[in-house]
Structure 1
């Protein structure tokens, strides 16, 4: 009898321990599933689909460039304009007078604040659909061009956004990675954080966006001011 009672007591003692391990295992599985990052591709697909419906876009921008070789960040502001497929412009209000214009044939870089008396002109390639486009390069055909990972959800003045990290598959991109903020409701790219090949980091935040409202023609053309030398690259 003593042996039988001892065995029964031993089994009863084991049962709580077994239940504890079973509960712990289920809890660990639940936590593991809860910690899995969301799939970034539905977010990018949404952004890509929305981008295909946009013929023109304008927005105020704040740009911060951090160059580890220089130290202090360079902060600029202005208005950005885009007209698909290859027209793009940034008119700076600080520093006032600086402009970047892609007119469909040439990309003009005019920065009298740092290099007065000249404008750099380079031809836009005839192939491809993105051109010198700040936004399109990240949401056009993303499956073919990037590996993607979900970073986090973030709150912006316009509402919630999903943050996605992109790493180019090819080696010809002028940046090693980019992180974009995609509006959860409208699918618009509202912020970009780009790590360039030179290790320079560029952050662009877009505000007061207007979609498919047209762009003034003067913003997408550039004529060198009198006395300004054109440097072809």
Structure 2
């Protein structure tokens, strides 16, 4: 009986340790990586409608870079060109096809967003102000963290952050409308030589600028 209890206790301790690894990876990423760049592929899947035989999805790809605090850039290259830049004060969205730029206050736009998990927080305590964080079971060779925004009024439902050997690998995002967006990162350059001026954005000549 004692041997069985010891075995059960060891299994429980192993399970708890495995559960904690996701948060440990996130904490290490926040602590040790101040800047980075990578390529990404994004698959967005919409809720299945009654007329659909399969769920609708679309795939895009591009590059991503960030610099703490609060600076990042997504450049979508395929299938449509689009750039999203946060310069620390303003969030810019440039649609090449429409030749249109939308700018918003970054403070108002990024509080509880997936980008905040990567670029804003310097530690778990800072992120915990906006998110409920917990480790999730390892799956597909990744350690996972689940992040739910404390502000329930926004569209974001949950973000799952996947780490492979301590390196950010996947952002799995679900919104309140049932849409799922999965970003898979490749070719990470941790602590890349980036500076604040790299995230300055100037609307192209002739582009319409919208400030909601």
Q: TM-score range by the shorter chain?
A: 0.7 to 0.9
Root mean square deviation of aligned Cα: 3.5
Deviation at 1:123, TM superposition (A): 1.1
Equivalent residue, structure 2, for 1:228: 207
Q: Output the CA distance in 1 between the equivalents of 2:33 and 2:191.
A: 6
Aligned length: 200
Equivalent residue, structure 2, for 1:85: 69
Q: Does 1:100 align with 2:91?
A: no
Equivalent residue, structure 1, for 2:100: 118
What's the secondary structure of 2:81's corresponding residue? strand
Matches within 5 A, 1:203-214: 203-214=182-193
Deviations 1:49-93 (A, max 9, x none): 332222211000111111227852121111101011011101122
Deviation at 1:165, TM superposition (A): 2.9
Deviation at 1:181, TM superposition (A): 0.9
Q: Output the CA distance in 2 between the equivalents of 1:94 and 1:219.
A: 22
Deviations 1:138-190 (A, max 9, x none): 874355531424222323xxxxx212333334425542112121223xx2321
Larger Rg: 1
Equivalent residue, structure 2, for 1:19: none
1:135 aligns with one of 102, 106, 118: 118
Give ranges in structure 1 of 5+ residues lacking alignment. Answer: 1-21, 156-160
What's the secondary structure of 1:49's corresponding residue? helix
Compare relative contact order (CA 8 Å, sep 6+) and give the higher one, 1 or 2.
Answer: 2
Q: Output the CA distance in 1 between the equivalents of 2:76 and 2:134.
A: 31
Q: Output the CA distance in 2 between the equivalents of 1:170 and 1:146.
A: 10
Q: TM-score, normalised by structure 1?
A: 0.70
